[in-house]
Every structure is written in structure tokens, then in C-alpha cells.
Amino acid sequence: MFAIFDQVIVMANPQIREGVFVVMLHIFEEGVHYGHVGYASSISLPLAVVVCFLTAVNLKLSSKVKIT
């Protein structure tokens, strides 16, 4: 889900925009298009925490890396 940003940005046309809208697209638009860099970074921080948590859970479940 987090890795589809490039596909969405390429296919983003106004007619299907609401159907393909993802968090990364919102962060990109707020930071780059509208210049709200502080707001975009404040959205990015919780997203980074969620991604790190999901990565740790995935590694723990796969038993390839021991997390203490």
C-alpha cells in the first residue's frame, strides 16, 4: 500500500482522483504543490512510525531477525 505512490502519481487524472487517492499523494500535494511543508512533515511523522512498526512486526513474524 505504501509503495504505490509512483503508479498513482502517473495515473492521477481528475476523473479518477478520488478512487486512487492515498496518504502519500496527500503528503506530496500539501508539501510540493501547496507549499505547506510543515503540515506535510507533520503528516509524514505518524506515517513513518506506522511503517516502522509494521516492519518490526513483519520481521518478528518472519523470524529472520531477532528483535529483543
pLDDT at 8 over 80: no
Q: Which domain holds residue 33?
A: 20-68
User: 12-43, pLDDT tens digit by residue?
Assistant: 666 766 666 678 888 888 998 899 999 999 99
| Within-domain flag for 6 | no
CA-based diameter of the chain, in Å? 48
Q: Look at residue 23 in the predicted model and tell me its pLDDT.
A: 80
What total number of domains does the chain contain? 1
Rounded CA gap, 30 and 55, in Å? 26
| Within-domain flag for 14 | no
| Within-domain flag for 60 | yes
CA 16: distance to chain centroid?
Answer: 19
Q: Look at residue 24 in the predicted model and tell me its pLDDT.
A: 80
Residue 66 CB neighbours (<10 A)? 7
Residue 27 CB neighbours (<10 A)? 19
Rounded CA gap, 7 and 38, in Å? 25
| Within-domain flag for 3 | no
